[in-house]
Amino acid sequence: VGILFGKAYLRAATPNNAINAFRKTGIYPLNENVFPEEAFVASETTNRPELNAGNVKSPSHNTSSPDCIQQVSSRVVTPQDILPIPQQQHKGGDITFSPRPNRNRGKTAIITSSPYIQSLKTKTLKKKDFKKSYFMIIFQKAKIKLILTKKNIKRNQ
């Protein structure tokens, strides 16, 4: 796949293709009329004047008795009333960042110097000692378990 893509890319990525792409989009040389006026007609459908969302009173209807006057008031509800557009909130203009996880950062050092080599040796010795002691503890625990199981076997016989 890589070989086929490489050959096709080398044939397609020519300076003429790049120049024609800039010319076609009107970037260079600058062509302000690259998009005709008809291309912007679709965006005009969303440019509507906003209606006043006030209380609208409908005419009251008289029923058989004059005591019962029905008044209906309706309010135009816009989508922004139901679900407002979320706004980004800044606390005092400061942007807060989540902290990075703690990581042991490296230090600059001359790696051929004696103090650096000594510190590496001590670190490796500490690691080896830790591993030895850790495995000795595990081995001792396993040995104790093994002894206990042997005792159980002897008792059961």
Q: Tell me which amino acid residue 54 is.
A: G
* Residue pLDDT, tens place only, 120-141: 888 888 888 877 777 777 777 7
- Model confidence, pTM: 0.25
* Residue pLDDT, tens place only, 27-39: 989 988 888 888 8
* Residue pLDDT, tens place only, 107-119: 788 888 888 888 8
Q: Would strands 55-57 and 73-75 be described as parallel, antiparallel, or unpaired?
A: antiparallel
- Nearest-CA neighbor of 73 among 64, 60, 83? 60
More confident residue, 139 or 19: 19
Whole-angstrom Cα distance, residue 10 to residue 122? 54
Q: Would strands 69-70 and 55-57 be described as parallel, antiparallel, or unpaired?
A: unpaired
Write down the pLDDT at residue 150.
62
Whole-angstrom Cα distance, residue 134 to residue 129? 8
More confident residue, 105 or 27: 27
